[in-house]
Amino acid sequence: MSARQIKNVSYDFRGQVVLVTGGARGQGRSHALAFAEAGADIVIADIGAAIESVLYPLATTEELNATAAEIEALHVRCLPAVCDVRDARQVEALVDDALAHFGRIDVLINNAGIESISSLVDMGEQQWDDVVDTCLRGAFLCSKYVVPNMIERRRGKIVSTGSTSSYVGVPRNAHYVAAKHGIMGLTKSLALELAEYGINVNAVCPGGMDTPMTAGMLASRDAEWLTGLGELTGIWNLFAPEAMLQPEEISHAMLWLSSDAADFVTGTSIMVDAGFTIK
Ligand SMILES: NC(=O)c1ccc[n+]([C@@H]2O[C@H](COP(=O)([O-])OP(=O)(O)OC[C@H]3O[C@@H](n4cnc5c(N)ncnc54)[C@H](O)[C@@H]3O)[C@@H](O)[C@H]2O)c1
- State the distance from the centre of ligand 1 to the C-alpha of 187, rounded, in angstroms: 18
| CB of 91 shorter than 6 A to ligand 1 | no
| CB of 34 shorter than 6 A to ligand 1 | no
- Looking at residue 231, its pLDDT comes to 67
Residues 192-219, mean pLDDT to the nearest whole number: 95
Residue 32 near residue 18, CB atoms below 8 Å: yes
Taking alpha carbons only, the member of 225, 125, 134, 217 closest to residue 180 is 134
Backbone angles phi and psi of 33, in degrees to 5: -65, -35
> For residue 1, is pLDDT > 50?
no
Mutate-to-test residue for ligand 1 from 127, 175, 177, 211, highest number of ligand atoms within 8 A of CB: 211
> For residue 239, is pLDDT > 90?
no
- State the distance from the centre of ligand 1 to the C-alpha of 22, rounded, in angstroms: 6
Output 8 or 92, whichever has higher pLDDT.
92
pLDDT-wise least confident of 16-20, 44-48, 160-164, 240-244: 240-244
- Looking at residue 8, its pLDDT comes to 72
User: Which residues face 200 on adjacent strands?
Assistant: 157
H/E run at residue 41:
strand 41-46
Taking alpha carbons only, the member of 187, 184, 189 closest to residue 108 is 187
The sign of the dihedral angle between the CA atoms of 31, 83, 139, 201 is: negative
Atom of ligand 1 at shortest distance to CA of 110? 41
Residue 48 near residue 65, CB atoms below 8 Å: no
User: Which residues face 245 on adjacent strands?
Assistant: 209
- State the distance from the centre of ligand 1 to the C-alpha of 42, rounded, in angstroms: 18
Q: Kindly report the protein residue whose alpha carbon is nearest to atom 42 of ligand 1.
A: 113
Catalytic residues: 176
Atom of ligand 1 at shortest distance to CA of 164? 6
- Looking at residue 90, its pLDDT comes to 98
- State the distance from the centre of ligand 1 to the C-alpha of 55, rounded, in angstroms: 13
Cα→Cα distances 1→71, 75, 154, 252, Å: 12, 6, 26, 19
- Looking at residue 6, its pLDDT comes to 62
Q: What tens digit of pLDDT does each residue of 70-122 get? A: 999 999 999 999 999 999 999 999 999 999 999 999 999 999 999 999 999 99
For the chain, the structural domain boundaries read 4-271
What's domain 4-271's superfamily in CATH? Answer: NAD(P)-binding Rossmann-like Domain (3.40.50.720)
